[in-house]
């Protein structure tokens, strides 16, 4: 929202420029300058961490004034059109068309939302734009209204497009049923299928077309199942020599080529040997394919243990392991703060234990941090954060602070060793930070 407001603060700009400035604020800069902007941003984050550690009585400053060396930002192999997933909204456009398919400029709070087509956005690939344009054509032909506000009626809602490097395309259309009966719903689904398989939408060459009835802003498969109208139930992607299936609600890194670079670096930082046990925490959230990190490193460790709250993600991880002939992985479904203490409390395995945590923006639950601190077998920890200035900062301090029995933070503290930023989102201000901690 803040970015959108900033985009709206350029009254002399075209709507396209406002959208680009809101979603991809670095788009005007040459790529090397973008990387420098992100490096300075990550440096400020490490400076904050260093200061906070000093406040805890930890002599954190190393040469250079930071708690650990900060390496240059690792560039994305693909700079334009790198997104493998795009979510398009349906709302009024600058011309007043209530069935515009695009991205928002403005905020609901200020009641100035405008939906702008994303044809000019540099981070979105042409295929996604093509599907969005076809969806707009379809709903403009439809006698049913778009659903701008739930209480005001209307039906056609957002579109999610997913693509893979194998040329697969999945489209997921969200529809508010309002008071429509089953026969009317069946008619709409049939028309949608016909448009994309026999009509103008055939140009999109969809591998999968899904339909979801939803009366909520966000709806899981368990709450309202994804209905396959056409094609294959999954699309497939290859990453680091492994093949992964992608479900409609699967979590995965938005930049496939960038993910390969990231995971290769994680493998090197783990320094895992043949007798190492790898603990992959939150292995299906925070933007990851289910179990991707663990599966990609399975060949260099003796065992992988994955923990993930989304049961469907665990199912996908198990399928991906079996499909790729990987037999040394086990995945546990449940909240990490519940499952992890149960796994680690009785840990008596003498083999080296390396942990990789990859939480969502909300960071790790406090009980997960406590369990990691308490397990002395974990000597090496890699924290992958998509928002290191947020809740992750609190986790860093909890992992590195002196033992505090009052907070049940026992065990030897960790210390940051090196920080490596990865540019997974060119043209935006966002960066993925990998922080290696040891004890």
pLDDT digits (tens, 9 = 90+) for 129-150: 999 999 999 999 999 999 998 8
Q: Three-state SS for 434?
A: strand
**pLDDT at position 317, please?**
85
CA distance 378 to 362: 23
**pLDDT at position 283, please?**
58
pTM listed for this prediction: 0.90
Q: State the binding site.
A: 253, 308, 358
Rg (CA), the chain: 23
pLDDT at 95 over 70: yes
**pLDDT at position 286, please?**
39
pLDDT at 166 over 80: yes
pLDDT-derived band at 418, boundaries 50, 70, 90: very high
**pLDDT at position 11, please?**
41
Q: State the binding site for S-adenosyl-L-methionine.
A: 253, 308, 358
297 against 9, higher pLDDT: 297
Q: Three-state SS for 155?
A: coil
**pLDDT at position 4, please?**
41
Unique residue bearing structure tokens 């149960």 = 342
Residue 312 to residues 10, 67, 156, 232, 280: CA-CA distances in angstroms? 43, 39, 27, 18, 16
Highest mean pLDDT, choosing among 19-23, 105-109, 214-218, 405-409: 19-23
Structure tokens at 17: 């420029």
pLDDT at 183 over 90: yes
- Mean pLDDT (the chain, rounded): 91
**pLDDT at position 395, please?**
96
Q: Under a CB-based contact definition with an 8 Å cutoff, are residues 169 and 145 in contact? A: no
pLDDT-derived band at 5, boundaries 50, 70, 90: very low
Q: Which domains does the chain have, with CATH numbers?
A: 85-238 (2.40.50.1070), 255-438 (3.40.50.150)
**pLDDT at position 1, please?**
36
**pLDDT at position 112, please?**
81
**pLDDT at position 284, please?**
55
- Residue 33 burial (C-beta neighbours within 10 Å; 0-12, 13-18, 19+): exposed
Q: Which has the closest alpha carbon to 139: 204, 191, 198?
A: 191
**pLDDT at position 3, please?**
42
Mean pLDDT to the nearest integer, 294-312 = 87
Mean pLDDT to the nearest integer, 12-37 = 93
284 against 82, higher pLDDT: 82
**For 108-124, how does the pLDDT look when each residue is reduced to its tens digit (9 = 90+)?**
777 788 999 999 999 99
pLDDT at 338 over 80: yes
Q: Which has the closest alpha carbon to 308: 258, 265, 271, 343?
A: 343
Mean pLDDT to the nearest integer, 409-429 = 96
**For 275-289, how does the pLDDT look when each residue is reduced to its tens digit (9 = 90+)?**
999 999 875 543 455
In the set 134, 386, 400, 401, the catalytic residue is 386
Lowest-confidence segment of 74-78, 240-244, 331-335 by average pLDDT: 331-335
Q: Under a CB-based contact definition with an 8 Å cutoff, are residues 302 and 329 in contact? A: no
**pLDDT at position 2, please?**
41
**pLDDT at position 53, please?**
96
CA distance 32 to 310: 38
**pLDDT at position 111, please?**
74
CA 365 to chain centre: 18
Mean pLDDT to the nearest integer, 303-322 = 85
**pLDDT at position 6, please?**
43
Q: Is 134 a catalytic residue?
A: no
**pLDDT at position 13, please?**
65
Q: Under a CB-based contact definition with an 8 Å cutoff, are residues 156 and 99 in contact? A: yes
Mean pLDDT to the nearest integer, 154-168 = 96
**pLDDT at position 139, please?**
98
**pLDDT at position 289, please?**
54
Mean pLDDT to the nearest integer, 369-381 = 93
Taking residue 79's Cβ as centre, other Cβ atoms within 10 Å add up to 14
């Amino acid at each position: 929202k803040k970015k959108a407001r900033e985009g709206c603060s350029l009254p002399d700009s075209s709507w396209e420029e406002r959208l680009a400035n809101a979603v991809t604020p670095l788009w005007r800069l040459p790529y090397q300058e973008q990387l420098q902007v992100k490096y300075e941003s990550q440096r400020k984050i490490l400076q904050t961490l260093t200061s906070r550690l000093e406040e805890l009585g930890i002599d954190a400053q190393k040469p250079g004034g930071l708690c650990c060396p900060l390496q240059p930002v690792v560039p994305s192999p693909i700079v334009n059109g790198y997104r493998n997933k795009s979510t398009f909204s349906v709302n009024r456009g600058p011309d007043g068309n209530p069935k515009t398919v695009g991205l928002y400029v403005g905020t609901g709070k200020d009641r100035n939302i405008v939906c702008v087509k994303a044809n000019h956005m540099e981070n979105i690939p042409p295929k996604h734009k093509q599907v969005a344009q076809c969806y707009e054509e379809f709903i403009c032909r439809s006698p049913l209204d778009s659903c701008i506000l739930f209480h005001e009626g209307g039906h056609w809602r957002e579109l999610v497009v997913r693509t893979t490097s194998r040329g697969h395309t999945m489209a997921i259309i969200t529809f508010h049923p309002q008071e429509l009966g089953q026969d009317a719903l069946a008619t709409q689904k049939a028309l949608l299928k016909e448009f994309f398989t026999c009509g103008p939408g055939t140009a999109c060459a969809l591998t999968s077309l899904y339909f979801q009835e939803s009366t909520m802003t966000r709806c899981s498969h368990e709450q309202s199942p994804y209905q396959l109208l056409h094609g294959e139930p999954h699309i497939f992607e290859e990453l680091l020599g492994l093949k992964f299936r992608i479900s409609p609600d699967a979590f995965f890194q938005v930049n496939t080529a960038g993910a390969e670079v990231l995971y290769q670096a994680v493998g090197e930082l783990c320094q895992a040997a043949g007798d190492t046990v790898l603990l992959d925490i939150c292995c299906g959230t925070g933007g990851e394919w289910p179990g991707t990190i663990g599966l990609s490193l399975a060949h260099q460790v003796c065992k992988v243990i994955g923990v993930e709250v989304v049961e469907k993600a665990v199912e996908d991880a198990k399928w991906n392991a079996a499909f790729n002939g990987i037999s040394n992985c086990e995945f546990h479904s449940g909240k990490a703060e519940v499952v992890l203490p149960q796994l680690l409390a009785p840990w008596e395995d003498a083999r080296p234990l390396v942990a990789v945590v990859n939480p969502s923006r909300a960071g790790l639950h406090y009980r997960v941090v406590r369990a990691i601190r308490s397990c002395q077998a974990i000597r090496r920890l890699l924290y992958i954060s998509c928002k290191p200035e947020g809740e992750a900062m609190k986790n860093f301090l909890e992992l590195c602070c002196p033992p505090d029995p009052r907070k049940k933070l026992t065990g030897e503290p960790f210390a940051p060793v090196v920080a490596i930023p990865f540019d997974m989102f060119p043209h935006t201000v966002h960066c993925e930070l990998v922080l290696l901690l040891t004890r």
